[in-house]
Amino acid sequence: GAVVSQHPSWVICKSGTSVKIECRSLDFQATTMFWYRQFPKQSLMLMATSNEGSKATYEQGVEKDKFLINHASLTLSTLTVTSAHPEDSSFYICSAKGGGNTIYFGEGSWLTVV
């Protein structure tokens, strides 16, 4: 079946630095991918919609200059957390629609900012 892969699974970075998280659709093309964030013991919250070849669409309250999204190909979307701060520490998850119109999620990426 369709597989969505994220990298890295875990990352620790210093406050003020930038971190890039990749989301790949491994056996299908995805013109649209979605990025979610999840804090401990909370549900997933949609951050933005990543559109191949065009600008991402951000949800209300999500800073586009802080969370840079690039969808340069039909199989890859990247989320860059710029000037990361401890409050950005979270579980970041991407999703994409695979065969049969089923939506698949990546394994998630844990970000810890120290």
Partner 1 sequence: DAKTTQPPSMDCAEGRAANLPCNHSTISGNEYVYWYRQIHSQGPQYIIHGLKNNETNEMASLIITEDRKSSTLILPHATLRDTAVYYCIVITKDAGNMLTFGGGTRLMVKP
Q: Which residues bind partner 1 (CB under 8 A)?
A: 4, 6, 30, 32-34, 36, 43-46, 49, 91, 93, 95-97, 101-108, 110
Between CA 37 and CA 87 the distance in angstroms is 12
In the bound complex, what is the minimum distance in angstroms from residue 56's beta carbon to partner 1? 13
Give least dist CB 14 to partner 1, A: 23
Q: Residue-wise over 19-42: b if at least 16 C-beta within 10 A, else e? A: bebbbbbeebebeebbbbbeeeee
Q: How far is the CB of 105 from partner 1 (least distance, A)?
A: 4
Identity of the residue, 3 or 82, whose beta carbon is nearer to partner 1 in the bound complex:
3
Q: Select 20 or 82, whichever has its Cβ closest to partner 1.
A: 20
